[in-house]
Amino acid sequence: MSNNLPYKLFILIIMVSIPVVISSSGGMRKDHNALFFFGDSFFDPGNNNYISTTTLDQANFWPYGETYFNFPTGRFSDGRLISDFIAEHAQVALIPPYLQPIRNEQINYHGVNFASAGAGVLSQTFQGMVIDLRTQLRNYKKEVAQLSQKTARNAVYFFSIGTNDYISQFLLNSTVFASYPHSKYVDMVIGNLSIVVKEIYKKGGRKFVFLNLGELGCLPGLRILRPERDGGGCLEEASHFAELHNKELEKLVSRMEQNLDGFKYFLYDFKSNLAQRITQTFKYGFKEGKRACCGTGRFNGVFSCGGKRPVKDFELCRNPNEFVFWDSYHLTEKAYKQMADEMWSIAAFKNLFLCY
């Protein structure tokens, strides 16, 4: 290495390096789909590293990333996310963050990840701290001009979004819920999601993957909002919002399939699959399904992992592979991998990756 290369540039290059997945034929597949990811921390590979926000919405510090990358990438896990494993299954390079300064400009070849940790469908969700879904859409439109119509049609568009629209109301003691009946608030979220999906459809998108919401009240960070005397059960009101959301999401994508020519979708039941790992922990190879690997307080539910957030104290488990939850709100790499592997095993999901 040249002695003239600035140290900070060297660190930047290391931090943004993305592993490349090689196909069995010895090179990158030529007939793959471009992958585009939208949403929140379940997909964000590090976009929030590059915006002015708080450490509550960033994960670019130890111990995040410790088990696979061996350094923090900005992913809210000890390693890879569902989006990373899907890219590996599809035999393409891991999809880079949209805001990454050094990334492959051939976006029609691999794809781009627009997700932002903490983001919601509604622009008011953690407003000013994250890249909301409408802004992610605008970022996509800047990219879509470089895509051929064939590439846009063959691309697969992934959405994991909505969690923060609901949990933010509990974490911030918001009065928004009091202003709207629960069903009306859910309708706002679903309605705004519908607008974004239809805009991508207008730009040529035809293949969509959606994750529904897990039982939000069972996240360690919301479990601790229930009084300790209750025995550590799930926060039922939060889970009720997720249930309403999931019902309306299913109706939405079904209507789109009926009304939009060529629209295809796969709806992954994230809720059931997470619930199974929480309640049948040992069956899936875990030892702990309620308590997070990293954090403090009951269930390690206080969002302090890494000691760079308002609460500095935290505990870190020895083996994240024994835990379903990595921190107060996010899963371990092992849990994400199991879900991605399951998605890839379903014929209806894999059919979206057929090129035309």
* Active-site annotation, residues: 41, 327, 330
Question: In Å, what is the CA distance from 274 to each residue of 61, 219, 249, 277?
Answer: 26, 10, 18, 5
- Please tell me whether residue 247 adopts helix, strand or coil conformation: helix
Task: Name the strand (E) or helix (H) holding 38.
Answer: strand 35-39
Contact between residue 115 and residue 74 where contact means Cβ atoms under 8 Å apart: no
Contact between residue 89 and residue 340 where contact means Cβ atoms under 8 Å apart: yes
96: which DSSP letter? P
Pick from 316, 309, 332: which is nearest to 57 by CA? 309
What is the Cα–Cα distance from 139 to 158, expressed in whole angstroms?
15
- Tokens coding 248: 């309306």
Those residues whose C-beta lies under 8 Å from the C-beta of residue 55, and which sit 6 or more positions away, are 61, 306, 308, 309
CA dihedral 86, 89, 91, 95 (to 10 degrees): 10
Task: Using the Cα atoms of residue 170, residue 175, residue 180 and residue 185 in order, give the sign of their dihedral.
Answer: negative
- Please tell me whether residue 264 adopts helix, strand or coil conformation: strand
78: which DSSP letter? S
Q: Which residues of 212-246 are buried (b: 16+ CB within 10 A; e: fewer)?
A: bbbbbbbbbbbbbebeeeeebebbebbbbbbbbbb
- Tokens coding 89: 């299954």
Q: Are strands 156-160 and 315-316 parallel, antiparallel or unpaired?
A: unpaired
- Cβ burial of 326 (10 Å; 0-12, 13-18, 19+) is buried
**Any alpha helices (H) in the chain, and if so which ranges?**
7-16, 82-89, 133-144, 149-154, 163-171, 176-179, 182-202, 220-223, 236-259, 270-279, 333-344, 347-350
